[in-house]
Structure 1
Amino acid sequence: MPLEEPRHVLVHARGEPSPLYEPYEGGAPEDVETFTRGIALEAPGLGLPDDLADPLRSWSLARPPQGFASRPALRKHVGLGLAVTRRLARHLGPSWAVRYRDERHGTSKWVCWGCDRLYWERDSHGTPPHPVDVTVEGEFGCGPLRADGFGDFAPDDPAAALHLSDGLVAALHSWVAGIDTTINLYVQDLEDGTYDADFDRLFREGKDLARQVAHELGPARKVTYKGLANGGLAAMTSVTWQGDREL
């Protein structure tokens, strides 16, 4: 299924409350000069949390009307802008094409929502370059996450560019290790019901972890929890979140 054309946004500090701009009607998004129509930070389509909207606003307003008088001040401002633009790109995900105006070098490069790198060309490393729909599922001998084109993978796999917190990464690794241990014990004993409580605990832990993954990835990606592949019918489910919203 082909991806829809993303909405384009330029992040450019012009001393206004919002540094976000999109092309005027009919303007070509490849031409940075067409980005003249402002986008309010409170726009529903952005869904920006306060801890992202506030630094964007502060950064834009911090630009002096006549520009920076010193190069160190300009360099610092450009660095702060790039950092918050990367956060914006990760938040918006593949449905937006984000460009950053670097006043120091006079460039307007695309910011990848997954790897944080700057590119002269949009989609420089494929579309989509990183998994958009992520599945959390516990299966013996497999990583805790799955996605089309990736198979099962670890939560800290750099190719997936999930940017999950260290605590959540460790918890996911511990969860699948617990599944492997429980399956091995079950195979050794082969007594029905002996490990039902363990499978039930792992099932509930997995759902909580999937919810945390969805929270950290934000609304740019969907996360589905499929339960335990080796836990029988009672351990199978399908729950999907987009950010903190259950679908």
Structure 2
Amino acid sequence: MTALRILVPVKRVIDYAVKPRVNATQTAVETSGVKMSMNPFDELSIEESVRLREKHKSRVADILCLSAGPPKAQDVLRTAMAMGADRSILVELGEKDELEPLAVAKLLKEVVQKEDRNLVVLGKQSIDDDASQTGQMLAGLLGWGQATCASKVELVGEKGVRVTREVDGGEEVLEGELPMVITTDLRLNEPRYASLPNIMKAKKKPLEKKKLADFGVDGTNRLKTIKVTEPPPRQGGGKVDSVDGLIAKLKELGAI
């Protein structure tokens, strides 16, 4: 059977429980002094990769994690290794640098080829920009099959992968062959907590540091953020006394 060599990209983002604040110049979201953690969708990807190995021990040869970010992004890679990944690569960026989805996809393509990966499992989106583009772009650059928004992943036969995903009104089941790109959705699994012994073991697992130039990738952004503002306060609802009152209110608002 074909051995799985899995790549799991992870991103360091503002913790999902923290309410983002716009900075004073209205050019970005404030990150200084804010709690950061692993993107929740990436936690699902790590968990699913580890579960595949637990279920098919002889088939998963290696789980490699990669992150592109500041030196502090080592923390999320150590967490990923504490959850069960074997090793990791940090592509170091400046503290304020941010890669666009296309640049990330090009970076992942180079890593896939250099590290001889045949399965990429990544979150369907990151909660900071909600772009939901990287997985699809990566599949296109590699010429691989893809299954997005997975709620269940199964290995079938020698090279087959079956992915179930939720769609309006039910479920859709897709089957493809390795090599393949899979993006993960929230209902896929429940990520495990990294235990203290595994956190200590993760400190001894290899973490390699690289630069974008090592992969020949141009990190120049093609888009410029003009302004970032808080959403307007939500107005409270109102009550009407009758159906006629409801119709009159809807007409007043231009809804009918």
Common fold by TM > 0.5: no
Q: Which has the higher contact order (CA 8 A, sep 6+)?
A: 2
Which structure shows the bigger proportion of residues in strand conformation? Answer: 2
Band of TM-score, shorter chain: under 0.3
Which structure shows the bigger proportion of residues in helix conformation? Answer: 1
